[in-house]
Amino acid sequence: MHNEQRNHPRISVKELKAHVSIDRVRQAPIEIDGDVIDISYTGIKIRLNSPLPEKSEGIVKIVIVLPESKIPITIHGEIKHYCPHFEYGLHHGNYSTEEALDELMFECVKQTQTNIAMPTI
């Protein structure tokens, strides 16, 4: 078994939609939708509806509508990992406010706990 050496644990989420914008230098911005796979206080893994162009460098803006309150939260970061199946790892630890991340993480944990099936007795 492989233990991850992370400072902040990942929280797996379901049905959390995101809109991604990438402002690129001397090129048109990229706008694309996707689903959040997991999130932590410093990173987010997202599956986009279509692939990004090769070497899509620039500051990434992700808008996520919180599942319960329906409040939109904006996270800024940069792409760190290109994974198969249009999945991307983004680092946002130095770009987003702690308050926005706290609110997002709270609702993600709450959503995960309510999705756990309780055994019937």
Per-residue pLDDT of 74-116, as tens digits, reads 888 888 888 888 999 988 766 556 676 676 766 666 666 555 4
Give me the mean pLDDT over the 8-24 stretch. Answer: 84
Segments in 3-117 forming alpha helices (H):
98-114
Phi, psi of 57 (to 5 degrees): -95, 150
Q: Is the pTM of this model over 0.85?
A: no
- CATH 2.40.10.220 is the classification of domain 11-109: yes
Q: What percent of the chain is predicted at pLDDT more than 70? A: 67
Burial profile 17-42: b = 16 or more Cβ within 10 angstroms, e = fewer? ebebbbeeeeeeebebebbbbbbbbb
Estimate the share of the chain in helix, then strand, then coil, as percent rounded to the nearest 5.
15, 40, 45
User: With the C-alpha atoms ordered 13, 15, 16, 19, is the resulting torsion angle positive or negative?
Assistant: positive
CB 3 within 8 A of CB 9: no
**Which uninterrupted H or E stretch holds 52?**
none
